[in-house]
């Protein structure tokens, strides 16, 4: 759509509901005022979303054109080089997080949480320095992920190339650890990477702990004993607790939670008992620490006992499987997932005689409960007011928030391309499912080695734009928001969805909530970030920002009483009346919720209706 500008002549302006005369003939992009401009002849009406007096500059091409971008041919991750291809979708902001390794920083709440959990598994071998770049074979194939599993999608996973990813879970190392066969039990703690929502409980880089315990059938047979007998003896060595456990389901169920063909019922019952007793012991220790921290601040006299329950679940790499939930502050909270390891994983790791269980837990989730930390972004803060509150040598105490800085929200509304579908899943946005072939020798040889802490220069990595045949996915909006705003964006949420009654085109409106955890953001800062975010939405996703006019299009602008929007299929400059739902700004000037969709003060030339 062509953009026209007023260049001369007198004009009038609506601003904050008041009519001003003899204003300057030009306006510049701005925020905080609504302005409706027209020239003296009334033959053209110019509409600005949030404008103030000053000069207008032409809208950047990035806001009106879908400009393709390319990724570099290679990328560095902590000094290691990897080739890239059309699968590359990992921005430099994500790669820059790799050297941080929060779970290893002294006195960090994630480190304290990790050590608390590790203390409940004496004798287990720990792996805390595993490099995050792995092959698709390690991350998916070794665990039995189907080729069409949503986790393989570029909308969910950060790819360096079609065979190389940033691990999405610590289980990417499971088969390798089993293959090493260094101990009967192990724990892995590591940073993991996923494209996800933007809110207070989700972050694209977070930390998991994975644990497993296995037994050797061959060793039991060598001793002339049954494997189940050996496992039950180990169960008796686990510390007993006095909490109430809700576990109404059997150890396995032929339909809901089946045992594997290579496992006997006696073995499964023994392994399940060892798994549950071990994880209950850990959870009791964690939540008693959390309760002590809460009581230290506000003594609780009800002394309600801790309640824990087991729920049947499904995971592609365990069967039977369970989740453990804890009743905490009035709600059942999922704490971890677990199950009996899929036997093909052990067979493929060259230890077919071993059987056992595994679990996975999110360190941030547990640390947020332990310390009452309200926002996941805080874990990445370098602010002494945050870091000084934690010590490995002191009892756990609840986090004391420092001053909460004001939020600033802005909306962006856009039309999807005609060929796009709004999706929360992975349909259509990614190339074919990742291949099963292993990645290059460079990755395979370094995946299990310790990372170096040096931060090396990282070239800008820009995900390839969508082709016309690809679908829109909400995670791409989230990723652009994080890339532009970093930790200055608190949350992004879909607030409205609309299908044009004439054209069938779909429009989405997202609300971006800007808030720093450490200082007050200025209007200029938020405006600049929002402008860049909108530009990248158009540039990367090929969407069309919405241009909205509020008023009755008549000569002289005698009334302002309607909501109009340029037809997405029209190039003649005509406007269609589109909405009745409005937000009142003045008794005679109404603005629809989409009005903040054009933050650079988009100017539209239109033909009057009268």
Q: What is the pLDDT of residues 112-153, one digit of tens each?
A: 999 999 999 999 999 999 999 999 999 999 998 889 898 999
Beta-bridge partners for 576: 565
> What residues contact residue 456 under an 8 Å CB cut-off, 6+ apart?
76, 78, 79
Over its C-alpha atoms, the chain yields an Rg (Å, rounded) of 29
The predicted pLDDT at position 410 comes to: 92
Q: Please name the residue that has the structure tokens 């369970």.
A: 322
Helices 363-371 & 109-118 angle (0-180, nearest 10) = 100
Region label for 177, one of left (φ > 0), alpha (ψ between -120 and 50) or beta (otherwise): alpha
Low-confidence residues of the chain: pLDDT under 50: 1-70, 425-469, 548-610
Query: What local confidence, expressed as pLDDT, does residue 257 receive?
Result: 95
**pLDDT of amino acid 303:** 67
DSSP class of residue 130 equals: B
> What was the pLDDT predicted at 449?
38
Q: How far is the C-alpha of 535 from the C-alpha of 357, rounded, in Å?
A: 49
Residue with tokens 């079609």, as numbered in its chain? 162
Least Cα distance to 193 among 178, 176, 210, 172 occurs for: 172
Whether the upstream peptide bond of residue 320 has omega within 30° of 0, thus cis, is: yes
Between CA 502 and CA 510 the distance in angstroms is 23
For residue 11, the cross-strand partners are 39
For residue 25, the model assigns a pLDDT of 32
Say what the pLDDT of residue 31 is: 32
Tell me the whole-structure pTM to 2 decimals: 0.68
């Amino acid at each position: 759509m062509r953009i026209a500008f007023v260049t001369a002549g007198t004009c009038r302006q609506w601003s904050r509901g008041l009519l001003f005369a003899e204003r300057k003939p030009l306006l510049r992009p701005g925020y905080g005022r609504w302005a409706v401009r027209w020239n003296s002849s009334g033959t053209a009406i110019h509409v600005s979303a949030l404008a103030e007096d000053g000069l207008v500059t032409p809208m950047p091409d990035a806001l009106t054109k879908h400009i393709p971008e390319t990724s570099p041919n290679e990328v560095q991750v902590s000094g290691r080089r990897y080739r890239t291809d059309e699968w590359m979708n990992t921005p430099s902001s994500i790669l820059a997080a790799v050297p941080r390794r929060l779970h290893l920083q002294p006195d960090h709440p994630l480190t304290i949480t990790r050590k608390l959990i590790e203390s409940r598994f004496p004798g287990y071998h720990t792996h805390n320095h595993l490099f995050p770049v792995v092959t698709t074979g390690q991350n998916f194939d070794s665990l039995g992920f189907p080729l069409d599993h949503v986790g393989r999608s570029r909308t969910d996973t950060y790819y360096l190339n079609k065979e190389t990813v940033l691990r999405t879970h610590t289980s990417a190392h499971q088969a390798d650890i089993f293959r090493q066969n260094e101990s009967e039990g192990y724990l892995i703690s590591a940073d993991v990477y996923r494209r996800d929502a933007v809110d207070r409980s989700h972050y694209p880089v977070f930390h998991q702990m994975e644990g497993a315990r296995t037994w050797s059938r061959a060793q039991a047979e060598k001793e002339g004993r049954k494997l189940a007998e050996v496992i039950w003896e180990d169960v008796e060595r686990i510390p007993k607790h006095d909490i109430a456990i809700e576990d109404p389901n059997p150890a396995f169920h032929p339909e809901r939670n089946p045992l594997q063909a290579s496992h006997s019922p006696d073995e499964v019952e023994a392994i399940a008992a060892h798994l549950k007793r071990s994880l209950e012991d850990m959870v009791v220790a964690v939540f008693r620490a959390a309760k002590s921290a809460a009581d230290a601040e506000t003594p609780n006299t009800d002394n309600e006992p801790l309640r824990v329950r087991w729920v049947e679940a499904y995971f592609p790499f365990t069967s039977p499987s369970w989740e453990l939930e804890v009743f905490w502050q009035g709600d059942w909270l999922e704490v971890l997932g677990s199950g009996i390891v899929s036997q093909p994983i052990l067979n493929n790791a060259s230890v077919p005689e071993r059987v056992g269980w595994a679990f996975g837990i999110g360190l941030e989730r547990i640390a947020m409960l332990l310390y009452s930390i309200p926002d996941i972004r805080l874990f990445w803060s370098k602010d002494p007011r945050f870091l000084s509150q934690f010590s490995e040598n002191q009892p756990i105490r609840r986090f004391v928030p420092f001053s909460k800085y004001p939020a600033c929200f802005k909306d962006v509304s856009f039309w999807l391309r005609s060929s796009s579908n709004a999706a929360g899943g992975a349909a259509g946005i990614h190339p074919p499912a990742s291949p099963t072939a292993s990645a290059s020798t460079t990755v395979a040889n370094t995946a299990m080695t310790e990372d170096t802490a040096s931060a090396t220069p990282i070239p800008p990595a820009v995900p390839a734009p969508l082709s016309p045949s690809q679908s829109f996915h909400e995670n791409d909006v989230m990723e652009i928001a994080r890339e532009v705003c970093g930790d200055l964006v608190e949350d992004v949420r879909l607030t409205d969805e609309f299908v044009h009654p004439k054209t069938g085109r779909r429009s989405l409106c997202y609300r971006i909530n800007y808030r720093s955890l450490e200082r007050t953001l200025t209007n200029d800062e938020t405006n600049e970030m929002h402008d860049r975010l909108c530009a990248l939405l158009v540039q990367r996703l090929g969407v069309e920002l919405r241009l909205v006019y509020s008023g009755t299009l008549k000569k002289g602008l005698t009334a302002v009483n309607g909501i109009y929007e340029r037809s997405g299929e029209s190039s003649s400059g005509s406007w269609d009346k589109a909405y009745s739902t409005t937000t009142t700004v003045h008794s005679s000037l109404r603005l629809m919720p989409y009005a903040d969709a054009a933050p650079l003060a988009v100017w539209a030339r239109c033909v009057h209706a009268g």
